[in-house]
């Protein structure tokens, strides 16, 4: 079956028209689904994603084959297994998984759009690790097809995990990460050639091997830029964006760095101080000095690769869209607040799966305002009924007398 789709793709496709970009997310957790709310892409109906139950694969295939586009950014694991969680444990032969990926090449032939694809090398505790790796190895011919980009990302590589070694043995690009991969490939599809200067809080940070990555940070960043189709340049070379990498050592010095950089460049801030949480000291400085609302992007919600990828992608995608940039900053602040306040509060009071009573955490949302807007938390949901992630409905309210500040 896989050979049939490969032969079909080699026949070529139709000419590109003025068509949208399609996005098929890894699953419906906020980091993966968020781009579907940004107004940049077309996505499958959200009902096709069913949380921990996994995606409705028939619905995804039907949507895919019926929807033309100039390009498609797609998760292989969503289409083959139903999402990241299902990919770890679903009992399915490798041959069947490959057959489920055939519609991707059929879409390329039918609609002529480019493919930007990513597959996940599973973490250490997945029971189907060997199967998933065989599928990724069998896709070796795909990157040689015209209009197809394919990469592998490895998921949560703790010390001793075989995933980095396995990923790097594949005959196409690989890097750490997973939940930010869709955002990064959207940057590659929508805004290739972004000129990025990378600034580290301190020089030694670039050589640090960060948690879950199994690579020196400088190498993680290099691979991330390659995934995004971006070019690393010096600060003196007039970059489109500066990616500032904060390691948590000195928030006061980092704030001074940001003040200096932001006077000349758009700056996307990746806070790597803690996994799944940001640095409250740094956020305090950013809020008090009115800097947060002036950032090009901010991310502190996940692992180092998650945060680097989100900050880079959102900074690049919204650098010419001031209102979109503010919305992304509001979402990123909610993710920071959830890690710092919301998640600990909920975990300390409620068992999972979470019920409606846990929604009371919304009452703790502070007064937050920047760049002439107040950010209100209008509603809250738990898409997977657990405290790790929460989905927010935010509103940006213009202030009658604009000022920058605070909580």
Question: What CATH architecture is 2-190?
Answer: 3-Layer(aba) Sandwich (3.40)
Q: Facing residues of 73 across strands?
A: 23, 116
Q: What is the dihedral sign for C-alpha 223, 225, 231, 236? A: negative
Q: What is the dihedral sign for C-alpha 162, 163, 169, 175? A: negative
Token pair 């991310």: residue: 299
The answer to whether 79 and 24 are in contact (CB under 8 A) is: yes
Rounded-to-5 percentages of helix, strand, coil across the chain: 45, 20, 35
Distance CA 199, CA 196 (A): 10
In terms of Cβ atoms closer than 10 Å to its own Cβ (0-12, 13-18, 19+), residue 405 is middle
End-to-end CA distance of the chain: 57
pLDDT of residue 18: 53
The answer to whether 74 and 60 are in contact (CB under 8 A) is: no
Domain boundaries of the chain, sorted by first residue: 2-190, 195-352
Q: Which CATH class is domain 195-352?
A: alpha beta
What is the mean pLDDT, run by run of 10 residues, along the chain of 407 residues?
A: 40 49 97 97 96 95 97 98 96 98 97 97 93 98 97 90 93 97 98 98 95 93 98 97 98 98 98 97 97 98 97 98 98 98 98 97 97 96 95 95 48
Q: Facing residues of 149 across strands?
A: 116
Distance CA 38, CA 121 (A): 28
pLDDT of residue 402: 52
Helix (H) or strand (E) holding 306: helix 304-317
pLDDT of residue 401: 61
304-317 and 322-337 helices cross at what angle (nearest 10)? Answer: 160
pLDDT of residue 15: 36
CB atoms near residue 309 (< 10 Å): 32
């Amino acid at each position: 079956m896989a050979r049939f789709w490969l032969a079909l793709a080699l026949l070529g496709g139709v000419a590109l028209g003025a068509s949208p970009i399609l996005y098929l997310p890894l699953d419906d957790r906020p980091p993966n689904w968020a781009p579907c709310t940004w107004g940049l892409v077309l996505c499958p109906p959200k009902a096709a994603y069913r949380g921990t139950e996994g995606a409705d694969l028939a619905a995804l295939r039907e949507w895919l084959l019926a929807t033309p586009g100039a390009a498609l950014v797609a998760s292989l694991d969503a289409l083959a297994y139903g999402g990241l969680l299902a990919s770890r444990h679903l009992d399915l032969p490798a041959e069947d998984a490959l057959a489920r990926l055939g519609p991707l090449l059929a879409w390329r032939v039918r609609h002529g759009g480019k493919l930007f694809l990513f597959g996940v090398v599973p973490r250490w505790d997945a029971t189907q690790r060997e199967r998933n790796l065989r599928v990724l190895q069998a896709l070796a011919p795909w990157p040689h097809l015209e209009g197809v980009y394919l990469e592998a990302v490895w998921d949560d590589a703790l010390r001793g995990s075989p995933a980095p070694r396995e990923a790097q043995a594949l005959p196409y690009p690989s890097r750490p990460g997973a939940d930010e991969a869709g955002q990064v490939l959207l940057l590659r599809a929508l805004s290739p050639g972004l000129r990025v200067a990378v600034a580290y809080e301190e020089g030694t940070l670039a050589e640090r091997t960060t948690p879950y990555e199994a690579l020196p940070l400088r190498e993680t960043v290099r691979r991330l830029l390659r995934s995004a189709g971006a070019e690393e340049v010096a600060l003196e070379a007039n970059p489109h964006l500066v990616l500032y990498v904060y390691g948590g050592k000195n928030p006061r010095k980092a704030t001074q760095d940001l003040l200096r950089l932001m006077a000349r460049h758009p700056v996307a801030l990746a806070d790597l101080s803690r996994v799944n949480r940001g640095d409250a000291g740094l956020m305090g400085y950013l809020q008090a000095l009115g800097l947060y609302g002036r950032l090009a992007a901010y991310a502190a919600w996940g692992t180092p690769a998650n945060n680097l990828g989100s900050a880079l992608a959102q900074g690049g995608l919204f650098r010419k869209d001031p209102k979109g940039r503010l919305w992304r900053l509001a979402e990123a602040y909610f993710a920071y607040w959830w890690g710092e306040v919301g998640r600990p509060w909920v975990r300390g009071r409620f068992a999972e799966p979470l019920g409606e009573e846990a929604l009371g955490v919304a009452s703790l949302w502070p007064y937050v305002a920047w760049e002439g807007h107040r950010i209100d938390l209008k509603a809250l949901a738990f898409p997977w009924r657990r405290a790790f992630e929460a989905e927010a409905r935010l509103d940006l309210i213009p202030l009658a007398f604009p000022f920058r500040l605070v909580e």
